[in-house]
Amino acid sequence: MNEMSAVVAILAGVLGLCIGSFVNVVAYRVPRGESVINPPSACPDCGTWIRTRHNVPVLGWLVLRGRCYDCDLPISARYPTVEAATGLLFALVGWHFAGQPMLLAAYLSFAGVAVALTLIDLDVHRLPNVLVLPAYPVLALLLALGAGPDALVRAAAGALLLFGFFLAVAVLARGGIGLGDVKLAGVVGGMTAAVSWGAFLTSAFGAFLLGAVVGVLLMAKGSAQRRTALPFGPFMLVAAWASILGASGIGQLYLQHLSA
């Protein structure tokens, strides 16, 4: 099992590097309403199309030493960082779900969407419907093909519970939670509850904990005020992936304490 997991993790990691390159395009173009297919990727400064040999994830940036081949202006280190981070996340997902092909497909899909939404929310404080809404049927289908009946029931219940909770917060605390966060909550609730109720609870509470910690740190640095709006999507997604990949035991301990 460990050998198979290692092979799947490596293959998933290579796929993640490629997906990370595409995610960079998605994160840049989707908020601008541009096609993610055409035109090909180009230098944002001189507009020259990037050559295929320079478009290899991470390595292309290193070969160019972080500069455009044509105009020699710097290329942001964000691009290879996103590619490497996506590759790492995919590798972890590959290791975790190596023996469950359809669940692997489901959580790799969720990983790609999660990285893209995190970048976009950090950039423009939006969670575009064009990414969030299709995630519902796609992930639901993949879960239906790979998860057992109990996991599917949990996923449906978790999606409804977290969506409803975030909707209530959005209505009662106007401006505290955006509708994009409400829509994303259903996806996060479903994908974490499909793993376990412990993962669901860890993710839900972890998102607010992360948001509070980051908010306090930013206020301490003078970078934010009490009413400064922070993008909440990244907190939800980071907490979700932490719980899916191993932190679910925190929520499980809480559930055991309640039932004791």
The whole-number pLDDT of residue 43 equals 79
Lowest mean pLDDT across 44-48, 114-118, 217-221: 44-48
Put residue 66 in one of left, alpha, beta given phi > 0 → left and psi -120 to 50 → alpha. Answer: left
Q: Is the same domain home to 145 and 19? A: no
Alpha helix ranges (H) inside the chain = 2-29, 59-63, 78-96, 101-124, 129-146, 149-172, 179-193, 197-221, 233-242, 248-259
Q: Which of 29, 64, 99 is the last residue of a domain?
A: 99
Q: Is the same domain home to 66 and 176? A: no
**Which residues, in sequence order, are CB contacts of 88 under 8 Å at separation 6+?**
13, 16
Range of the domain at 208: 101-260
Looking up tokens 């930013």, which residue turns up?
218
Q: How many domains does the structure of the chain reveal?
A: 2
Q: Is the same domain home to 6 and 92? A: yes
Q: How confident is the model at residue 2 (pLDDT cuts 50, 70, 90)?
A: confident
Whole-model pTM? 0.92
- Give the tokens for residue 75: 């290329």
Higher pLDDT, 18 or 177: 18
Lowest mean pLDDT across 4-13, 195-204, 205-214, 217-226: 217-226
